[in-house]
Chain A
Amino acid sequence: MSNQKKIRVLLVMDSLGHSTGYYVVAKGLQEAGIEVVLGGYQIPREIVDTAVEEDVDFIGYRIMDGAPDILVGRLMSLLKERGVPDIKVIVGGIIPPSMISLIKGMGVREVFTPGTRIQDIVSCVEDSK
């Protein structure tokens, strides 16, 4: 990938509603010059479809209602199945502390919980490109 190409991030949610953080992150990434594809509510299978179709570098997955280990586990294995394991995944939302190392162990780049600064998310995306 050439350096000129902007980083593309697909932002998705595990459910509809209570999406304040989702839109805050979207705006923050856009202001930092990152291209954001707003996928809205999608299940792991759809997320992988969209990610491939939109040719993104990153998936940002907001999880509030769902079980992080089940959803992330499914997403990661589907990415492998589809032959796109290089698409990086970051997770944010209501993630119980005990789950953080568990889902990081599945290959998630970073997990952001409430209290995160926008800049930290931007840096994570920029640095791990």
Chain B
Amino acid sequence: MFNEEVLAEIEQAKKEYERLIEHILKKYGEKELEETTVSGIPLKMVYTPLDITKVDYLKDIGFPGVYPFTQGVTPTGYQTKEWTIRQVVGIGTAEETNERLKHLFEQGQTGFSVCGMGYDPYESSDERSLGMLGRGGVWIDSLADIETLFAGIDMEKISINQIGCSIPVFAMILAEAQRRKIELAKLRGTIQNCVIPGGEGPRFEGNGTIDIIEYCSKNLPLWNHTSISVRNIRDQGVSALQEIAFGLYLGLYTIKSAMARGLGVDEVAPRVSFFLSAENEFLEEVAKYRAMRRVWARLMREDMGAKDPRSWLMRFHVQTTALNLTAQQPYNNLIRSTIHALAAILGGAQSLSVNSFDEALAIPTEASATLSIRTQQIIFYETGIAKVLDPLGGSYCVETLTNQLEEQAREILDYLNRLSPERAFRYMEEEADEAGYQRQRAIDNGERVLVGVNRFVMEEEESVPAHSVKLQEYDPGWRDRQIARLEKVKRERDPKKVEAAKKMLAQAYRSRVNIIEPMIEAVKAYLSIGEIVQIRKEVFGSLDLSRFGGKFFGM
């Protein structure tokens, strides 16, 4: 980007600068000049055009909305479409969650994102739901609960994010849309779906993960059938570099698995989305999103041979990290999450969920979830950073980090690609476990600073005490009411339709057809998720519970 003459002059000036700081640093003793990011990328004290001499603006950065999309996936960014404010909700029964959702929409939330739906493969009356129902997410037994969950919410106006990939729940959402006479092709949403090897591997015809992709690519053109949930792996303690590389690997593996079913790359890739974290190391985080966007575009176009430009776009939702939120001095987390959110927006996120300050203590209250919305609104309306696309693009430092992250993430990806999928997934798990442990050790021995935990510690009474924060309480009544509700549904549903639906679903499982359409019909008879799982179990034998929310995906 600079001509030789200018670079030679800068080189000369740099030598003078180095003499200057040598003198200053001597005064400060043996201060280490070299620092690194948490990913181990070396950081210099200053970056200059000399660091990015090889960067070709049109080839490596490009205008927003133009390949390789380093500056963003759309030509106009937040100027024409604000990011989606999408706080995660999931509390109690469908009634409590519906109420919370409506409150958040009134406060300016623009996306629906609900956790807990269909995580548990049994009915609410099961012993397993004791003390559990409704605390880690909303409980759904049947279509009646989905009707309640969406009551008063315009399904056509919002984009719907299903956390987890429960197929009965997905079918219930579509059944509810049909009941409202909404054309499925108009629905916008995302399902946290991603192919994993083993168990029901991609070659297995009864693999629901690929059924979802296949069904959506034919019927739901605006639905992200895949959401590469690398954020939760990042939250186990891996680096930004690994977050990029693991995400790329998971994305490619999912696409290749769908292609093995007979779908074309351009049928699948346009609706693959990513779910990323936003961590502490600010500059590296901004570079991370840029690097990943660029390398994904290059991989899809050059390696996978995708022709449709939409297949080259890495669109992503960010949920800010929970790993660095502390139970000590909990209001500090407001500051942390704000900085994480800034990185996500400077990195061009399409959608954002800001973790609440009380998450190390309990699930968020209405008030703390509202603060997370306000954080996003303040960034959008008050700071002005959303007015410019990729405002940190062109920074000598950020461009250098972007290059380094791309290059090193590709090395990790190459390594993963040389392993069998089973081995690659095990490797990622092992890396995540080890990283989590090393991170904790670094905090314990003070190498890694966590304010309020290992530095600037205060006694409870002198800080804002955790005790004074009003927390969300668990209501044992949620379970009682949910059990009563399911009993009522079972009393009122048409037993003939129930029997027919059960038979039809079992037959569909046995014949290994794509399960989504039969499932939509089955849930309309108000079968419970517990009943559906039972039918599936009878056809397939033992049930691999890990498919309902394994450790790896942290669902």
Interface residues of A (CB under 8 A from B): 14-21, 23-24, 27-28, 43, 45, 64-67, 69-71, 74, 94, 96-98, 113-115, 117-119
Contact = CB atoms under 8 A, between A and B. Distances in A.
B545 A16 contact: yes
Contacts of A119: 444
Of listed B328, B471, B551, residue having the most chain A CB within 10 A: B551
B136 A15 contact: yes
B70 interface: no
A123 to B, nearest CB: 12
B130 A43 contact: yes
Contacts of B444: 117-119
Contacts of B359: 94
A17 B130 contact: no
A97 B232 contact: no
B463 to A, nearest CB: 12
Nearest to A73: B131
Given A43-B128, A65-B136, A97-B361, A28 B326 contact: no
B293 interface: no
Of listed A17, A21, A70, residue having the most chain B CB within 10 A: A17
A118 B440 contact: yes
A74 B476 CA distance: 14
Interface in B447-502: 450, 452-453, 466-467, 471, 473-474, 476
A17 B437 contact: no
Contacts of B436: 20-21, 23-24
Contacts of B237: 20
A84 B326 CA distance: 35
A70 B131 contact: yes
Contact of A70 (B476, B549, B551): B476
A114 B327 contact: yes
A67 to B, nearest CB: 4
A49 B147 CA distance: 40
B361 A96 contact: yes
Contact of B132 (A15, A20, A97): A15
B337 to A, nearest CB: 15
Contacts of A66: 131-132, 135-136
A18 B127 CA distance: 22
B440 A24 contact: yes
Given A65-B136, A94-B362, A115 B326 contact: yes
Interface of B: 127-128, 130-132, 135-137, 232, 235-237, 323, 325-328, 359-362, 432-433, 436-437, 440-441, 443-444, 450, 452-453, 466-467, 471, 473-474, 476, 545-546, 548-551, 553-555
Nearest to A117: B444
B132 A16 contact: no
Contacts, number: 102
B440 A67 contact: no
A87 to B, nearest CB: 20
A17 B554 contact: yes
Contacts of B132: 14-15, 65-67, 71
A65 B232 CA distance: 16
A113 B327 contact: yes
Contacts of A21: 436
14 contacts: A16-B548, A16-B549, A16-B551, A23-B437, A24-B436, A66-B131, A67-B132, A97-B466, A97-B471, A113-B327, A114-B325, A114-B327, A117-B444, A118-B444
B326 A96 contact: no
B461 to A, nearest CB: 13
B360 A18 contact: no
Contact of A17 (B127, B450, B476, B550): B550
Contacts of B546: 16
B135 A17 contact: no
B260 to A, nearest CB: 27
Contacts of B452: 115
B199 to A, nearest CB: 14
Given A17-B549, A17-B555, A94-B360, A115 B466 contact: no
Contacts of B467: 97-98
Nearest to B473: A96
A50 to B, nearest CB: 16
Given A17-B550, A71-B131, A115 B555 contact: no
Contact of A27 (B137, B437, B551, B555): B437
A94 to B, nearest CB: 6
Contacts of A97: 361, 466-467, 471
A53 B431 CA distance: 31
A16 B131 contact: no
A74 B130 contact: yes
Contacts of A70: 130-131, 474, 476
Contacts of B235: 18, 20
Contacts of A98: 467, 471
A96 B550 contact: no
| 5 tightest Cβ-Cβ pairs between the two chains A and B | A65-B136, A70-B131, A67-B474, A67-B131, A114-B360
Contact of A96 (B128, B362, B476): B362
Contact of B127 (A14, A28, A45, A114): A45
A36 B474 CA distance: 31
Nearest to B545: A16
A27 B235 CA distance: 17
Given A23-B433, A66-B136, A113-B327, A18 B554 contact: yes
Given A16-B549, A20-B235, A20-B323, A94 B361 contact: yes
Contacts of A94: 359-362
A14 B361 CA distance: 16
Nearest to A22: B551
Nearest to A113: B327
Contact of B550 (A16, A65, A113, A115): A16
Nearest to A19: B551
Contacts of A20: 235-237, 323, 432, 436
A43 B129 CA distance: 9
Given A17-B555, A65-B136, A97-B361, A115 B232 contact: no
Contacts of A113: 327, 360-361
Contacts of A24: 436-437, 440
